[in-house]
Structure 1
Amino acid sequence: MRETTWLKGTVLLAYILVIIMNVVANTLPLFGRTTGAISNQFDALFTPAGITFSIWGLIYLLLGFFVVRFMTYDGSIDRVLFRKTAIWFCVSCVFNIAWLFAWHAVFIVWAMAALFFLTHAIGRLVVLIHESYANGSGFEKTTFTLYLGWVSVATIANVTIWLVSLDLTDPFGRASVIGTAAILLVGAVMAILVNHYLGSLVYGLVFIWAYAGILLKQFERAIPVPWLLVASAVISMALIIGVSLLLRFRKRQTT
């Protein structure tokens, strides 16, 4: 009983700290920079339009509902599973905050490392929920799959920003356009595979949201639109939808 109370309190505190730090990071702002200002400073082709980041509001709202549900735990699930869920959630909160500090301090490599660990922690939660919760896991699975999808996109974006920060090539040159087009296709393949494993379309839909934001960003620029990038994004979105639905249909046919 004491451990359960302690875990509930820790999860609640971790969530509150994440919300506070995200608000402070942009209202203070942290290190004198907003989150979006740093993205604009390293204007990579993979960076989506500002409106795309509104998905964070939905993610944190769903996480808040998850915390409320977690606080009402009555012993109906395995105690070990309860403990693991609490631990990985708290770990994800730690790296969420770590990313904010590294990002706002413009320590791009450290921010990238924090995102890798954050992605791992959320991935562990998704796998844990997918494979362990026999019943009543729909909300939790959707919440953390959505979170995982967006953090996966953020990780890819962070890598492209790191490459831009190295100033190796023109960020809008031919090599950058070809490289980003390839990354979009690789991301689509990853989204399809995760969709198939989880038996859900949520992860892939997050990538479609991000890719739509990338397209919007291209048409907002004052420079000519790189049509190879546009074609790659459109093809990637079509593949995510088409192949994921096909695999889901075939899976249902064989069960």
Structure 2
Amino acid sequence: MSLAPDRVMRSRQIFVTIAAVFCAVGTLVGFGVIGTRVEESAGGNLAADATLIAPAGTAFSIWSVIYLGLLAYTLRQWWTPAADTPRHRVTAGLAAISMVLNALWLLVTQAGWLEVSVVVIVALLLVLGLLLGRLHDRPGDGWVEWVVVDGTFGLYLGWVCVAVCANIAAALVARGVPATGWPSVAATLIVLLVVIGVGALVTDAYPGNYFVGVGITWGLVWVGVGRMTDEPRSLIVGVVALFAAATVLAMTWRSARPAKRPIPVPE
């Protein structure tokens, strides 16, 4: 016996809202309101000066935009027309899981479990990738949907693409891998090239959604700034990070431009 459609929709709305509340609690912990700030947790290995691929502190201001978007998404899904579309039905669960994973990551890092945090953030990356795929397969209707849903989760995915690299580097440094030196520089340069490849994949997979590329670009720009202005300094990493940012942005711009339709030729 199946549940009534209204009851299913209400359960979905409640699930998303509970996930958002849990995410808000995790955010308060991460901001240091009821816990230790992220950059001070896990022995300082997540600080902006901990690894060569750590973005400068200003980069994390993107979370203000993402959290505002998640709040708008949570509120909007209580509006019946938006809550009862096929698009929302197949993505609401993934959106809720992404918020839970975000809070879980913050709580795990509070405990200093960097290896576990890598597992959590990789899971978050996969969930967001699946979510964006479903959004792309079902185009939204109107600019509000585009900004609140596609925009929020696009930026979210883009930022996480860079954050997962920084998280893995932090875990390795915590395990005793040197944060500086030519081996670390070489490894970081390889990772930056991989991020360019990831940028190419996502811009090809989600043409028209330039929020993902903007999120990646934002993170890479601040990796470059961090390596040029803060410790550990590395001019070559900074230059390559900025080059990677420019490359991803160019690919994003190209994919977001509407394709030109051929002019029909009379037979």
1:41 counterpart letter in structure 2? G
Shift of residue 110 of structure 1? 0.6
Q: Supply the distance in 2 between the matched residues of 1:135 and 1:222 (Cα, whole angstroms).
A: 46
Q: Supply the distance in 2 between the matched residues of 1:217 and 1:234 (Cα, whole angstroms).
A: 11
Shift of residue 92 of structure 1? 1.4
The verdict on how the C-alpha distance between 1:103 and 1:230 changes in structure 2, with shifts beyond 3 A counting, is same
TM-score (norm 1): 0.88
| Bigger Cα displacement from structure 2, 132-141 vs 85-94 | 132-141
Among 19, 25, 30, the alignment partner of 2:24 is 19
| Bigger Cα displacement from structure 2, 21-30 vs 94-103 | 21-30
**Counterparts of residues 60-79 of structure 1 (less than 5 Å):** 60-74=67-81, 77-78=84-85
Q: Which residue of 2 aligns with 1:98?
A: 104
Q: Does 1:240 align with 2:240?
A: no
The verdict on how the C-alpha distance between 1:68 and 1:229 changes in structure 2, with shifts beyond 3 A counting, is same
Aligned residues: 249
Q: Supply the distance in 1 between the matched residues of 2:114 and 2:76 (Cα, whole angstroms).
A: 35
Q: Does 1:185 align with 2:193?
A: yes
Shift of residue 213 of structure 1? 1.1
Unaligned ranges ≥5, structure 1? none
Q: Supply the distance in 2 between the matched residues of 1:75 and 1:54 (Cα, whole angstroms).
A: 28
Q: Supply the distance in 2 between the matched residues of 1:248 and 1:90 (Cα, whole angstroms).
A: 27
Shift of residue 246 of structure 1? 4.1
Q: Which residue of 1 aligns with 2:223?
A: 214
Q: Supply the distance in 2 between the matched residues of 1:153 and 1:45 (Cα, whole angstroms).
A: 13
Identity over the aligned pairs, expressed in percent?
23
Q: Which residue of 2 aligns with 1:150?
A: 159
Q: Does 1:109 align with 2:118?
A: no
Among 37, 57, 61, the alignment partner of 1:54 is 61
More helix by share: 1
2:126 counterpart letter in structure 1? H
The verdict on how the C-alpha distance between 1:171 and 1:93 changes in structure 2, with shifts beyond 3 A counting, is same
Q: Which residue of 1 aligns with 2:13?
A: 8
1:129 counterpart letter in structure 2? L
TM-score (norm 2): 0.84
Unaligned ranges ≥5, structure 2? 1-5, 263-267
Q: Does 1:124 align with 2:127?
A: no
Q: Supply the distance in 2 between the matched residues of 1:153 and 1:126 (Cα, whole angstroms).
A: 17
2:32 counterpart letter in structure 1? T
Shift of residue 85 of structure 1? 2.1
The verdict on how the C-alpha distance between 1:153 and 1:40 changes in structure 2, with shifts beyond 3 A counting, is farther
Shift of residue 149 of structure 1? 0.9
Q: Secondary structure at the match of 1:192?
A: helix
Contact 1:195 1:202 in 2 (8 A): no
Shift of residue 94 of structure 1? 2.0
